[in-house]
Structure 1
């Protein structure tokens, strides 16, 4: 019925025959066609925390008063397709905040930024938000302490933890008391972040739909440079990329890669092998970053033998003339 009628909202009981309410909401949220429809639980079971983790907008325990039911309807109507959702991004790095803003940009999403946990708590006490994107490495109060303070002072706003740091087992357990939505920044993280935020905002993200269809049409005509000394790798990569409509340039070592970039500065992406003769991938990346034209050129390092420390080597600090705003690991090096 949800797929057929696309309702404004769904009131869902937990104790249903054949398939219980938990399974129903899991199926709804896994289906891109209906995942944006807000779900409000009304059940004899008091499991509001589990409902929030699965993406419900609210939870009422029977028996329900008419006032509480009216509140549930108002909550569902808040997430109508044409209503504005409010997202709070808490991160001390303005570049990261701007990146998140760009990712979730939508006419129906208002993005508010905070550079510290203290400022975020102040904002939460002034007005409500539908979702929070939180970095853990904050100045002053840490992201961990913020989660605990927020729960005691500002209610149960859904939180998506979006951090570059790998979590220890103890840290992960501590965070999971407040949220199961943890996204570690990396190659697939933007897509995951969109999924998690859209789940809590109950919205269809305009960037997500076509991109996840994987038709490749959005890549047609884009220019990529493949740098690898193994002809088998070059052949395999170029075949796949050209099948998606990309224009592929090739180089078999670092020096040739620099020459290709100098002759074709409109290249938009570099796939860089690490283990190469003459000039390896790390040296080549450093040389590329010395040219102001390529300070923000995306480079993806590829290696068959990843070792501890390789990720850090692939993000060398850029010259201060290229990235004056940050001294180490500027985002343009990523």
Structure 2
């Protein structure tokens, strides 16, 4: 008997661990007050002792959900890694859609408004984001080179710029540019003000990313390029930047995605982008949640597109990996 217990000890401990995990999940769901209304549809009418007792029904509901999660985990573990990822994405997406469905949404209203939200809102958002990304990239490259300069004046300008625009909230920058510039005689439109604010703000953050990427390249690369007769500009464009991109691209891609979402802040100055239209269109029939959920899904799809673009660019510059 003792030998049998020793031989089966690992399996017994594994089963005990699984049971403890299920117990912890059950108690956690019970404490969260998980809804038990769905039990009335699943259990037969001959089980009133469950459906009519709130505490028992909550406990049974929590236990069933914990068992479903455990079975789902067991099933996913036996799948290949690729299918594990696909399975997790599908399951979480379905849960997200069920969560939204529980809001009692008016899908007819969404269908009526989504066309205008895409043709006007998405177009404006992409226009603002694309120009802001391009301008911010140029600013970041110039700022990074300036922060690497030995000239005190240039270095001082770069550090002051990054400190100021990283230190102020983006919403405040939009207001200052849109409302402040007319005070000195320069009237600026809402869209140019939003583009300028996004470019200056994210250019400051990306300056540090570019600087770190450039500094990560061994100084011997620059010395070798100089020995071959390349000018400083050629060295930066042909030698340093291609190698630095493998470090610059991942955090820069995150900044681009954040900029896409932060473009919603320009709605405060009346720009007809996704967030502005979602808010105003929802007010027409007091269907705010429908428009907000629709806008959130559009932002998510746009972010997925940027993530895919980022991964392709990373693959492109991966061949410059320095060993």
TM range (shorter): under 0.3
Q: Which structure exhibits the higher relative contact order, with contacts defined as CA atoms closer than 8 Å and separated by 6 or more residues?
A: 2
The structure with the greater share of residues assigned to strand is 1
Query: Which structure: larger Rg?
Result: 2
TM-score w.r.t. structure 1 length?
0.21
